[in-house]
Structure 1
Amino acid sequence: MQLPVQSQSTMYAEPWEAGAGPADLVEIARAADRAGFDYIASCDHVAIPRRLAPAMSTVWYDPVATLAHLAAVTERVRLLSHVAVVGLRHPLLTAKQYATLDHLSGGRLVLGVGAGHVREEFDVLGADFERRGPVLDETVDALRAALGPEEFPEHHGKFHDFEGLGQRPRPAQPRVPLWVGGSSPAAVRRAALKGDGWLPQGDPRDRLPGQIATLTRLRADAGVEGPFTVGAITEPLYVGAPGWDVGRRTLTGAPQELAESLRAYRAMGVDQVQVRFRSRSRGELLDQMASFGADVAPHL
């Protein structure tokens, strides 16, 4: 699940999150750990321009700091950046931050990357917004090298060039999973050819089979083999019968009903689903998470 509180876009934040903070994040992360969730995720934005602030808000916690903080209070749940806009930073800087996070957490990092969409962030940081796609393509290659086993990684490309520069600590994992986010044709191609997984961005159920077919075809045509994790973001969920208006798109009902609906994702070829629960308070969210882990997940 994507963590609440750490990003508060009006598209998905619940009203109670406006007054929440670090203590709430800690309790939610611990609840995810207890309930058997595979990962908790944190977003990445450096600065939000005034034109977008009414919709996006300016509440965007730093993902490395947030996930490192939560790694220290959890034991097994994985830590996903969903997604890191790695084109805003030099790959050696990104590698230093996330390798340290993987090292400190005992190998629980999943590095999710994406191209980004806020021009002003790129402009103020001196990054190239117009060429962010090609930059990301190369940055993925550079990160593969920089997060690999070599203490002195090497990469020679059009946008980045480095060798003879050592970085320790190394990641705890022999290979950090790298999932590519986005649903544009370019993002799907990038995920298929360069990623270990795909994180869609807002694809409804009826669009997923076509996207997955494209991923499969691209990988086959290029001869790309190896494990690959296909993701999906579900509709908002509420376990049980809500006594309040949770919105017409929210899936509600008994645990077996919700499980039956979610199993349709597996039938499409999806490997992991990211869930979000409607809630009016931290307590209600924690109850929903516990109910999902205990009563819904065993049926999946």
Structure 2
Amino acid sequence: MSYVGRFAPSPSGPLHFGSLVAALGSYFQAKSQQGKWLVRIEDLDPPREMPGAAELILQTLRAYGLHWDDEVVYQSQRHSLYQRQIDQWLESGLAYYCQCTRKQIKLAGGYYQGTCRSKRLENPADCAVRLRVEHPIESFLDIKHGSMTIPSALAHEDFIIKRRDGLFAYNLAVVLDDIDQNVTQVVRGADLIEPTGRQISLYRALGTPEVSYLHLPLAIDDNGNKLSKQNHAPAIEISNPKPALLDAMAFLGFKLNTSVRAADLDEIIHWGTRHWQLNQLPPSIEITPRFSNGAT
């Protein structure tokens, strides 16, 4: 099967340094194998969306020389795909309605205990939909880091595939989209290691072989917090992308000589594609980036 990779940002804000690392890692991994690199906008949660962020993200990728294959997919246009699968699982009994609140789950120890599994609730009003986890995943193989362990309580928890507010859950949407787009490998930040177990459970519930996974080092600040939109990480520069590009490539383990640093943007991207190797990636899953090129 031909390699298909993807970058799937949420439009809750502009791309920051950590987003750039994920975009570059997924791009270089795909292009180094003569594969496709897709972009999907994961706009599942309108209340968290920033107006204009989706187009700004695409504009930023173009500014950094990261050009995608095929059309951009928007999750907001794929609700029927998600609901159709949920309906099938509800009918077969693999999914069920749950009326438990976060507060109740917290009081019960922090993990859902299967309270509504046998209640056979039929009124979806004010209910979430959960998947019966019949294939709990307590570990998986990451192609860089080897065997990764998932906390047992989390692995066995029946998890939400549609929220009480009617919004579709990230884990469900990402798996159905990856299958639909023929994605063969997921390259993303190490902050998404724990959801991987639930996503593999979904692949197995669907009877579909799961993709392989590569988790990149997570960029953290001096206080140990990940660089994220929630933590107000600054947006990367669009008008002068080269400094942040070089910093992100250094973060990913590239040894950038003087001639590479002096090259233009497209030449740097082509050089990165030719020289990308998994063994260059740092062994740690969390790194504090050092901005040597003037990035902020």
TM-score when normalising by structure 1 = 0.30
More helix by share: 1
Report which structure shows greater RCO (CA 8 Å, sep ≥6). 2
Instruction: Report the structure number with the largest CA radius of gyration.
Output: 2
